[in-house]
A and B are shown apart, each in its own frame.
Chain A
């Protein structure tokens, strides 16, 4: 059964179609990677799913329920969590308070929220920084905090936007480990990432887009050898 289904989704900014007629499904328990060159519309797809942007046309279904008309905060309540490419930590709150703010979606009890935040902070290996102010964290930890905060809302589907961007190879490796750990815990993930090696390694299926249109969709091997994908990344000469 597909957890998320996008039917012909289109998002136009004035005359520019950032995403046009894109259809795909996400199966329960899989990691779907979305790849594409800069400006191809990857983050726009995320913003449409999480309803930060309203769709121009098309339909989105989550667990067979239409969601493209709902307000953004409802999307999260239904079980779709997200992170931001440009991290948005709650700057003057501690790591624990950041995660608690997420945990409060499913509980109103202070003690329960703190306990859950503690579990998630441990899961994401942020224990050492629990009482640090979020604004004092370096980028790799801020990215990790984004994931922790989203996890605290108990999502079934997690949208990860460029979790490895700006990280050195060692930090990326740690981030990938965390993503795999999340999948092993039974979560479905859609991930946008620039680094092809990362995407090939962890994705079950890959959706390649360019200029907002699908150019390939399938398992990592198929997609990476697809002539359109090679052309989009390396130019005509290599296709």
Chain B
């Protein structure tokens, strides 16, 4: 059974890798690249909000900082925005540090509120500060224009994000994060320094969201504060994407991202700006009937089947 599973995963990986050699149409590749970017943001959010239970309403702050780190390099210094793929994540981590250190000492909604404020602060700052080019945004001339290139960069970034998240969750840190989510007092009584470990979830989450931002800048080649620091279209949307796919699951955010992007494309031609409405209704239905999200429910079902097979108590994985 385990071998079959591994084979399936390898097969899927091979398909994903050779896909752009088969599908050469730029439009389809464009859709998949957007899915990759959203899957990275979702996976990052999930590490912090899903596993560690620290819900963030401001991941746009990290996304935007990552994007601007890449864009401003080119805009002011003429340095290739690809360096932003390195600088963006680091800048996002630097931004996240003070919030984590201050807000994680408290319980309850303070962190969520601090993040909400952070995203909005950055949006207003970047509209009004002199060196950001304000609401006009930043336009770069990308050196590479083939979609296939961005496809592979996006795929590599997504695999890295999912890989690191998977590694964290299946280690001591992962157990500690889930313990903190389930009961902070119990976690403390087990000797877990809760403030520190919440930061261990926040930093990689900010890092990879910043990476997604830098990738977005390089790929789309135009950003402005109202796009990348957007509260509804980024910060809140990522939460919906993760809820749809499955909170605290490895592949839930990726599945959610795929549905979000594809639905948006399908309904945009017929419904115009109201296309997001369809996604909203779908999320409502998922919350009502599949509260663990799509991947979450499949995992549950598998757990039930495994238990029936064993004839004894089977486990539901964290």
Interface residues of A (CB under 8 A from B): 50, 52, 71-77, 81-84, 88-94, 96-97, 100-102, 104-105, 108, 110, 113, 128-133, 149-150, 152-153
Contacts and interface: CB of A to CB of B under 8 A. Distances in A.
Contact of A76 (B182, B191, B315, B316): B191
Interface string B110-133: 000000000000000000000000
Given A104-B172, A110-B172, A132-B313, A150 B178 contact: no
B197 to A, nearest CB: 10
B106 interface: no
Nearest to B175: A101
A88 B183 CA distance: 7
B182 A93 contact: yes
Given A101-B176, A101-B178, A150-B189, 6 more contacts: A75-B191, A101-B187, A104-B172, A105-B191, A133-B316, A153-B190
A100 B194 contact: no
B54 interface: no
Interface residues of B, number: 25
Contacts of B170: 110
A88 B194 contact: no
A90 B194 contact: no
A89 B189 CA distance: 12
Contacts, number: 94
Given A104-B172, A104-B175, A110-B172, A131 B189 contact: no
A1 B21 CA distance: 75
10 contacts: A88-B186, A89-B182, A90-B182, A92-B182, A92-B318, A97-B175, A101-B175, A104-B175, A131-B315, A149-B190
A94 B189 contact: no
B178 A108 contact: no
B185 A93 contact: no
B249 to A, nearest CB: 12
A19 B38 CA distance: 54
B316 A92 contact: yes
B313 A88 contact: no
B105 to A, nearest CB: 11
Contact of A93 (B192, B312, B318): B318
Centre residue among A72, A74, A83 by max chain B CB count within 10 A: A72
B302 to A, nearest CB: 14
Contacts of B315: 94, 96, 131-133
A100 B175 CA distance: 8
B5 interface: no
Given A90-B179, A129-B313, A133-B316, A71 B193 contact: yes
Contact of A104 (B176, B186, B188, B312): B176
A76 B189 contact: yes
Nearest to A75: B191
B109 interface: no
Given A73-B188, A73-B193, A90-B182, A97 B313 contact: no
Contacts of A132: 313, 315
The list of the 8 closest CB pairs from A to B, nearest first, reads A76-B191, A131-B315, A90-B182, A88-B186, A105-B191, A101-B179, A104-B172, A88-B183
B314 interface: yes
Interface in B171-227: 171-172, 175-176, 178-179, 182-183, 185-194
A170 B313 CA distance: 24
Contact of A50 (B176, B183, B189): B189
Contacts of B186: 84, 88-90, 149
A95 to B, nearest CB: 9
Nearest to B315: A131
Contacts of B183: 88-91
Interface string B266-305: 0000000000000000000000000000000000000000
Contacts of A149: 186, 190
A108 B168 CA distance: 12
A74 B190 CA distance: 10
